[in-house]
Amino acid sequence: GKNIVVTGAASGIGQRTAELAQSQGANVFSVDRNTPDNQVGHFIAADLGSAEGVEALVNALPNGIDALANVAGLSGTPGKVPTIAVNFLGLRALSLGLAPKMNQYGSVINVASIAGFGWRGNLERTRKAIDVEGFPDPAQFCADHNIQDETSYPDSKELLLMWTFRAAHDPVFKDRGIRVNAVSPGPVETPILLQFRDVLGDDRVNSDINRVGRAGTANDIAPSILFLASDGARWVNGTNIACDGGLEASVMSEAM
Ligand code: NAI
């Protein structure tokens, strides 16, 4: 089996991804800041929103990792600093830090969101932001790139999508055949959805859900993540799979 690291494994999509990977015979390293009741594979506690936490995790993981599923994320309600730190800066630092411990032809899968699909409209700002070095101070990063609390969630996912496309051609990954892709869910029934309801309002979330008949479940998302980790996806690189039941297509076709 492959060695796969799954972050955010204590809840929702990450938990389901870790379980499914294990049931398919993978050797799973599950990571979260919260220790889950049912630990899948080898559990490692880590705070992915700090440079120290990411570094400790990279050191704790063995060589020979085949896939990294970056699922951990925050909704934006905790504020811009932790949201940017976990959803973008920490995820990027973990991916870059783990790359030397990954096998040739490995795979990095970044869970973004349909909330990040506006990235083309913010190219100028995002371009500057994704090129920063290392794991900068998240508060300073938010100040430097004009990131506000209210929009920090979509901003973090726009940064993540743009970085995913960029990273697919970064020699750190590309020289060893490591692919970098994204999976972007629409509304999914997990604890984070309650926070999105608080921020966006029930009307907006319900209307999105009604467009496609129901909210997704973690079980709808995990297989796409594991597909990108598999050898069958060997020619899929630097792309994004919307996993939203057709929501984005519905919104787009209305605007066409
Ligand atoms: P969730 O809230 O159930 O799980 C997120 C997990 O990330 C939690 O276990 C949490 O402890 C972990 N986490 C947060 N901060 C961390 C940190 N500093 N260090 C380590 N772990 C940390 O949410 P869900 O739905 O499973 O979300 C997974 C991903 O899917 C997130 O990136 C989210 O933005 C994305 N997503 C979710 C959608 C939804 O409606 N549920 C929609 C679009 C994207």
pLDDT tens column, 23-61: 999 999 999 999 998 999 999 999 999 999 999 999 999
Q: What is the pLDDT of residue 246?
A: 98
pLDDT of residue 82 exceeding 90, the answer is yes
Q: What is the pLDDT of residue 126?
A: 82
Please give the distance, rounded to the nearest whole angstrom, from the Cα atom of residue 8 to the centre of ligand 1: 6
What is the pLDDT averaged over residues 71-81? 97
61 exposure class (CB count in 10 Å sphere: 0-12, 13-18, 19+): buried
Please give the distance, rounded to the nearest whole angstrom, from the Cα atom of residue 199 to the centre of ligand 1: 16
What 3-state DSSP class applies to 195?
helix
* Cα–Cα distance, 11 to 15 (Å, whole number): 5
Give the pLDDT band (50/70/90) at residue 104: very high
Nearest to 135 by CA among 88, 101, 170: 88
User: For residue 98, what are the contacts with CB-CB under 8 A and spacing of at least 6?
Assistant: 5, 58, 61, 65, 68
Q: What is the pLDDT of residue 215?
A: 98
Nearest to 162 by CA among 51, 252, 239: 239
Exposed e or buried b for every residue in 103-124, given b needs 16+ CB within 10 A? Answer: beebbbbbbbbbbbbebeebee
pLDDT tens column, 194-247: 999 998 999 999 999 999 999 999 999 999 999 999 999 999 999 999 999 999
Catalytic residue among 117, 153, 163, 196: 153
Please give the distance, rounded to the nearest whole angstrom, from the Cα atom of residue 24 to the centre of ligand 1: 23
Give the pLDDT band (50/70/90) at residue 256: confident
Specify the higher pLDDT residue, 37 or 142: 142
Q: What is the pLDDT of residue 88?
A: 98
Are the beta carbons of 206 and 247 closer than 8 angstroms?
Answer: no
The closest residue, in CA terms, to atom 2 on ligand 1 is 192
Q: What is the pLDDT of residue 124?
A: 84
Domains and CATH numbers, the chain: 3-255 (3.40.50.720)
Instruction: Provide residues with CB under 6 Å of ligand 1.
Output: 8, 10-14, 32-34, 46-49, 71-74, 86, 111, 113, 185, 187-188, 190-193, 196
pLDDT tens column, 161-206: 999 999 999 999 999 999 999 999 999 999 999 999 998 999 999 9
pLDDT of residue 125 exceeding 90, the answer is no
Active site residue 153: yes
